A and B are shown apart, each in its own frame.
Chain A
Amino acid sequence: QKEVEQDPGPLSVPEGAIVSLNCTYSNSAFQYFMWYRQYSRKGPELLMYTYSSGNKEDGRFTAQVDKSSKYISLFIRDSQPSDSATYLCAMRRSYNTDKLIFGTGTRLQVFP
């Protein structure tokens, strides 16, 4: 079993839809959670960073962590065609180790 599971998609939604992207994990030691966005033929870029359980909002993006269920989510409101990309979740055990464990990524397509 992989430490981090992520549905590969593709997920195809109309412009303006609310998108929910999710990851599950098996290691309860993970405390720091990240979402990266990767456009085609580009490197991943950090989108959201959260610590422990709870929500974090940044514009149209909300990251949610539920440590009791070992489940993290990224919500995108009012999705735009420019949001079309692959979204990777990543997590690490503590802040004194920088090894990240990545999900395989979910490909999102937002059509006009």
Chain B
Amino acid sequence: DVKVTQSSRYLVKRTGEKVFLECVQDMDHENMFWYRQDPGLGLRLIYFSYDVKMKEKGDIPEGYSVSREKKERFSLILESASTNQTSMYLCASSSMPGTKTTDTQYFGPGTRLTVL
């Protein structure tokens, strides 16, 4: 079974703090993703990575950065947290497209971040 773990289930931070969200997958997947999920807006892609040290912006990258130093680990960084970044953050991973057409993304349990 694919296992995607996230470092915290719940996190409370103050405005202006630097926040690190960690994600680790154990299936040797090439691709990793960070989403945020908000009521009425669904899942929105923040950043994704197809390989170590590679990253690409998703639909809402402003205010976020990412780091992928090892294949199994993908970190999301909020440089200076703001209240509008209060949300559920979900990490996902998948194998390289083209290996199996039925491959899709597998999600972690999420981190509920509150910025006060």
Interface size on A, residues (CB 8 A): 25
Asked if B105 and A100 make an inter-chain contact with CB atoms under 8 angstroms apart, the answer reads yes
- Beyond A88-B43, A98-B31, whether A41 also contacts B101 by CB under 8 A is no
**Chain B 93-116 interface residues, beta-carbon cutoff 8 Å to A:** 94, 97-98, 101-110, 112
How many B residues are at the interface, by size bracket? Answer: 20 to 34
| CB-nearest residue of chain B to A50 | B102
Task: Name the A residues within 8 Å of B110 (CB-CB).
Answer: 41-43
Docked complex Cα distance between A104 and B90 (Å): 14
Docked complex Cα distance between A111 and B105 (Å): 30
Task: Name the B residues within 8 Å of A36 (CB-CB).
Answer: 107
Determine the main DSSP class of A at the interface with B: loop
Question: A75 interface residue, CB < 8 Å from B?
Answer: no
Asked if B101 and A95 make an inter-chain contact with CB atoms under 8 angstroms apart, the answer reads yes
Docked complex Cα distance between A95 and B31 (Å): 13
Question: A25 interface residue, CB < 8 Å from B?
Answer: no
Q: Closest Cβ of chain A: how far from B115's Cβ, in Å?
A: 18
Extra contacts besides A41-B112, A45-B107, A103-B42 (12): CB < 8 Å = A43-B92, A44-B43, A46-B106, A49-B102, A51-B101, A90-B104, A95-B98, A95-B101, A98-B94, A98-B97, A102-B42, A104-B41
A-B contact pairs, 11 of them (CB 8 A): A8-B40, A34-B104, A42-B109, A42-B110, A43-B109, A46-B105, A88-B42, A96-B98, A98-B31, A100-B105, A105-B42
10 nearest CB pairs, A to B:
A43-B107, A104-B42, A102-B43, A95-B101, A98-B97, A43-B109, A44-B107, A96-B97, A43-B110, A102-B42
